[in-house]
Every structure is written in structure tokens, then in C-alpha cells.
Amino acid sequence: MPLGDNLGDKNDSRYCGVETEFNDDMPHVLSHNINGGFDFVVAPLMEPGYRPSLVNSVNKETTVLPFAGSDLVLSPAQWSSHVVGKISSWIDLDSEDDVLREDSEIALKQELAWASHLSLQACLLPTPKGKSCANYARCVNQILENLNNMQLWLRIPLVKSDYDDGDSVNATSDGMVVEPTDSWELWNSFRELCEHHSQLSVALDVLSSLPSVNSLGRWFGEPVKAAIVHTDIVLSGKAVHKLPVGSSPSGSSQADNYSQEAQRHEIRSYLDYVGYLYQKMEPLPEQERFEPLMDNLEAQTYETFEKDSVKYIQYQRAVSKALVDRIPDENASTTTVVLMVVGAGRGPLVRASLQAAEETGRKLKVYAVEKNPNAVVTLHSLVKLEGWENLVTIVSCDMRFWEAPEKADILVSELLGSFGDNELSPECLDGAQRFLKPDGISIPSSYVYKFYTACDYIKVVKLHKDLLHFETAYVVKLHRLAKLSPSQAVFTFTHPNYSPNKSNQRYKKLRFEIPIETGSFIVHGFAGYFDAVLYKDVSNILPPKVTHVCEGRISLGLSHVAVLWFGMSGV
């Protein structure tokens, strides 16, 4: 896989295929393109001149249909791994021509049945021919109900929704003229008629002009499986040849990496350029590839948290600054700081705190408080393994009921949980602040919860029919997200909080403005997250790398996301 040469997971955006014409010599088509560096081909399964109505009615039951050769010309693994079926583009199930409409339904069912027989992973459905696609969607929905695991990609032209530049028509790569419309609305109508089926996805046909940034952003919340890029409108010859002469995108010699046949592929230069752009992308942070979260955590969940190296680096920085502020250099060798880690888990904050003491030259006494008896076993093993017996006291107890033998200079916790606060951070830390000296330091010192409207491809609609699940906050990982409006602060908590009238009850009403140029949309819900200040200028954000979803904060472990899902249409 040429695009997969770069280390680091970039989700599923790593395959590059080529769309081909009908050819009954499928082994040659596949060999030419795979040897040319492509991962798969999008190939028609039926001769383009075939129409069911043209077949002799007497012999309809016995006539061999003109498919692209026998299923035996390729191995099952080749069909499954390297071929995406392209359903005939002439199909129009909403045509007013009765013959064409009937032919279209028969052909669609025949081709998808054949593709399913071949065990193809996906088939590319043709673009609906008009704004009305009810019969097309009806037929596809019927097929989906009895389909195996094969995915159906509906080809949708990425058409501008605001025709203010004089454009009147666009044409897809298969020659179909598309009237000015909002392509997102076309997709939304089709998938609603198909009941949001999980095997129905989008293949965006990228045309010569793009929608506005806000309008385009809606697609980030949709199940887009492929982008169909046209070489004649996206990459000019000059752009392609900006690649370093004589080298592949990975920097090694093309002669070393690719065969002579690969050099002869007619669009190889475009593939090289796509690979070059792909390798310039930053891989997803390791912690962003893991999922949260549950009560009385299991070992696998602890391991997930511990992979978030950025978070613990920030905690170590915060503890270091707190130690330096707490103990002047002249007292560093004679004064011992009492630090309590409440909710110690398997000890990552204990380790971060001790490393901070070592780098600042401060003496530290650590209490590791943890209520999960299974995690306590691991804590004891860690302390023994690292030789921390004289530095760390393990307390197997719920912090709410523990009576500390002494007051702490620094209280450290990562009980922040998600927006829904499933770890009860304010309540727990309010209760634990009795351990602190009057001038003690809490890490974190504050955190702000935020909301924004969003749409994300979800399955709540299909799985549940009751109101309860639509009014439930879910801890989720937003894989595909369209952020429809800027985030707004909702709740703020600070620690320690010695106010005599303190309360963690909160109520807030917000108004979200969505730019009019966004066009139609569906708000699936409100996504919430938080920013935490650990100590002074140390936060859960590592500037300046704020590039990921939710302004970069989801990529750090402190920023788990909770979403209240529901369905709402907007225009």
C-alpha cells in the first residue's frame, strides 16, 4: 500500500484505487493497476450495453448474463481485497420511462447479487439522477435488508449549495449532468429513506468547484468511505511534478520501490503526489486511537489511560512547578513535601510526581489513595519493583472515608471524567480538600466544561426507539464529526474551594448560532468537553499543537467527550 508506508495510524484513509472501464479480462485489469501501485480497482461488473428488456423473453431464465467474466478468473481473496464493484451508471429507478425504470431495478438487483456472490467488500452505486430518488432508495433499502456484510457506497457529487458565481450545472466523472442543488440534502434524503442503514455510506465525487467551508464541513459528520478525485481538475501537471526528482514520497528511489511496469502506469504520477501529501499528514496520537471508560476500572482501561503520555508529561510539569513554588532552593534538602494522589489507579501520577521531585531536587512523601482493590495490588507491585517503599504509602480506601494521618502540601488527581462528570470530580475533590493544608495546592486547580453543536454518524436512531436513550449522555469517541458552531463555556469548577456557600449545582442556558452558508444539516446532539488548568500556566493542552477535533483537546486524555444525542433537522 503506497499510502501506508508512513508510520502512524491515520484511521482508514490509507488506500488509493483507480476507476476503470468495463473489461472482461479482469485479471489483466487488476494486474496492471495493482502492479502500478494502486490498492484496488473500481470496476463495472456488467457490460454497459446490457439491458434486461433486450434479452429474449423466451430465454430469460437460461440466458447467461454478460458479467465481467467468471468468478473463477480471480481468487476469492483477490475479489474481496482488490475489487470494488461499480454498478452501471445508466440505472435510473425514478425515470418516467417505464422500460428504463424496470430495467434499472432488475439490473441493480442482478449486479448487487453478483457482487455479493463474489464477496466484494463494497459496491459503488450510481448518483441519483434527479432530486427525487424515492424509488431508487426503496429498492436499495430492500436489498440492504438481505445483504451480507458488503458495503454500498452511494456516489454523491460534491456540488455547491450556494450558486452565486454564475455556475448552473456540474458533471460527474461518468458524464451525468447535475442540476444546482445541495448534494448533502440529496444524500440525507436517500439515507433517511434507507432508515440510516449502517451498510450505506458515501463516496464523494469531487468536482471542479467546492461548497463553502461551512457547507463542506457537514461532510465530516457523515460516513464518507471514499473521495473520487479527478486528475483533470485537482492536480495540474506542474503540481504533480513538484515531487523531488528521482525519489518517491518516502524519499527512497522509485527504481528500488516500484517495478518497471509501475513506472509505465498512465496515472502513476498522480498516485505519487497523493502519497506525498498523505505522508505529510500527522498521524493520530496514540491515545486518540483508544476508547474510554467505566467505573471500577479493569486493567485494559487503566492501560488505555496510561498510554496518554502527553497528559502525564503535563502533570509532571505541574507538580514540578508546585514543588519549586512550595520549597525554596535553600530548603530543598531539609524539607519534605507531603503529596497525596487521590484516585491513584495503577500509579502513573505517582510516577509523574516522583519524577518531578527528582528533576527539581525536592524531597517527597507520597500517599497513593485508591478504592479499587485490584488496582491496589498493581500499586504494591509497582512500589516494590521501583524501590519506592520509603517514599510511597499505599492507602486502599475510598477517599471520602479515609482519615489522613497528616495534611498534604499538594493534592493531585485525574478524576476529571467526561462532560457528564461520571467520576464526580467536583464532589470528590471537594471532599478530599480536607486533606490539604490551608495554603495547599490542588492539581488540577480548575476546569471549564464546554458545549458545541455537532453531528456525528451514530446508531442511536436504529438501536433505540425510546425517549430515554435520546436524553442520555454517552461517553463516546467522535470518529466522524461536523462541528456546526463554536464552543461555549458552560460550567467552571475550582479547587480548593473554601467558600462557605459552595455548591456544585449548575444551570446554564446557551444559544448557538450556525452560519447561514452552512446550508441544511442535522444536529445529532451537543458535544461537551473540558479544559483543565493543572497549575498556573500548565494545562491539559500542549501548545501550539492544537490541531485535532474539539480544538485539539480530544487528543489528550483529560478531554474525554460526552454527547447528548438526539435528532434535529436544520435549514
Catalytic residue, from 21, 195, 423, 513: name it. Answer: 423
CA atoms of 482 and 217, how far apart (whole Å): 6
Task: Determine the residue type at 214.
Answer: N
176 is in an annotated binding site: no
User: Is-catalytic flag, 282?
Assistant: no
Kind and range of the H or E run holding 281: none
Task: Determine the residue type at 269.
Answer: S
Query: In sequence order, what are the residues at sequence separation of 6 or more whose Cβ sits closer than 8 angstroms to the Cβ of residue 424?
Result: 415, 417
**Grid coordinates of 261:** 511496469
225 is in an annotated binding site: no
367 is in an annotated binding site: no
- C-beta of residue 465 within 8 angstroms of C-beta of residue 195: no
Which residue in 531, 534, 303 sits closest to 441, CA to CA? Answer: 534
Catalytic residue, from 414, 427, 471, 517: name it. Answer: 414
CA atoms of 219 and 221, how far apart (whole Å): 5
457 is in an annotated binding site: no
CA atoms of 273 and 249, how far apart (whole Å): 7
- C-beta of residue 94 within 8 angstroms of C-beta of residue 101: yes
- C-beta of residue 426 within 8 angstroms of C-beta of residue 432: no
**Quick one: angle between helices 183-193 and 134-145, nearest 10?**
50
Question: What count of other Cβ atoms lies within 10 Å of the Cβ of residue 539?
Answer: 22
26 is in an annotated binding site: no
535 is in an annotated binding site: no
Q: Where are the alpha helices (DSSP H) in 372-484?
A: 373-386, 425-432, 460-463, 467-470
Question: What count of other Cβ atoms lies within 10 Å of the Cβ of residue 335?
Answer: 13
User: Is-catalytic flag, 414?
Assistant: yes
CA atoms of 478 and 223, how far apart (whole Å): 12
Question: What count of other Cβ atoms lies within 10 Å of the Cβ of residue 473?
Answer: 17
**Grid coordinates of 219:** 461532510
Catalytic machinery residues: 414, 423
Q: Residues marked as binding for S-adenosyl-L-methionine?
A: 302, 311-312, 370, 398-399
Q: Residues marked as binding?
A: 302, 311-312, 370, 398-399
